Amino acid sequence: MTRTLYDLCGRDERLRFSPYCWRVRMALAHKGLVYNTIAWRFEDKQALAFADYDKVPVLCDGDQVITDSFKIMRYLDKAYPDAPVLGEGTAYQRALFFKYYVERSVTPSLFRSVALDLLAAIHPDDRDYFRKTREARFGARLEEVHNPEQGKQQLYQVLAPVREQLHGSPFLDGETPSGIDYLLFGSMMWTHTVSLEPLTEPDDPVSEWFTRMLDAHNGIARQAITIRDLN
């Protein structure tokens, strides 16, 4: 059976930084599932017409087509129930809350820290699209949004509950990484891939967790090409 993930790429086709695609890549690795990726760019809507969708990730699993990262994680739990990532019942419901925590509380401070790094990392043909959609979302020019000092301060504050959790266990989901680790890791991998400077201090428990996540599942994330490999 063929399994294919449509994955956002940047100015170099090997540069893969979408937080939503990283969630899915980690969930696929968690399940021990092999897959190919197809590099995709923001402007290439036509390539996703078959999925009736205009964003990645899109997963083709045999004849199944699944869109949206969280729905893909949910699909993987249903189709491959061993080693659940989101889980069922209240475990699922609490993972859903964590998804909103990442997207509504963590992501804005990450974006503020690397807005212009992201712009530089994406393909030149995609930059107009990126600028237009993101400036509409923030109601400000990317040059105004980009404020690494403020972004890092906000990030430090917003990660306070994550830091507390990591005092008790090596991963957010316990002794081994699982669904909520992947949700946060996706977003932090996004900035790790495009930024020259780390956004957390080396002695921060969050940095130590991030290192463990890079090593997880045979180091699939550690092997990823970053902007630092291209410069």
- Chain positions contacting a second copy, by CB under 8 A: 84, 87, 89-91, 93-98, 100-101, 103-105, 158, 160-162, 164-165, 168-169, 172-174, 178-180
| Least distance (Å) between residue 47 CB and a second copy | 30
Smallest distance, Å, CB 221 to a second copy?
A: 21
Cα 43 to Cα 27: distance, rounded to the nearest angstrom: 26
Helix axes 19-30, 179-194, angle to 10 degrees: 130
89 or 202, CB closer to a second copy? 89
Burial of 10 (0-12, 13-18, 19+ CB in 10 A): buried
**151 or 179: CB nearest a second copy:** 179
Relative orientation angle of helices 89-100 and 69-79, to the nearest 10 degrees? 160
CB of 10 to a second copy, least distance (A): 28
Residue identified by tokens 């291209």 is 230
End-to-end CA distance of the chain: 38
- β pairing state of 3-8 and 36-40: parallel
Q: Between 106 and 224, whose beta carbon lies closer to a second copy?
A: 106
- Nearest approach in angstroms of CB 30 to a second copy is 12
Task: Please name the residue that has the structure tokens 């899109």.
Answer: 58
Token look-up 């946060």 returns: 184
**Shortest Cβ 46–a second copy spacing (Å):** 31
Using CB atoms within 10 Å of the CB of residue 201, give its burial: 0 to 12 exposed, 13 to 18 middle, 19+ buried: exposed
**35 or 92: whose CB is closer to a second copy?**
92
Minimum distance of a second copy from residue 15's CB (angstroms): 29
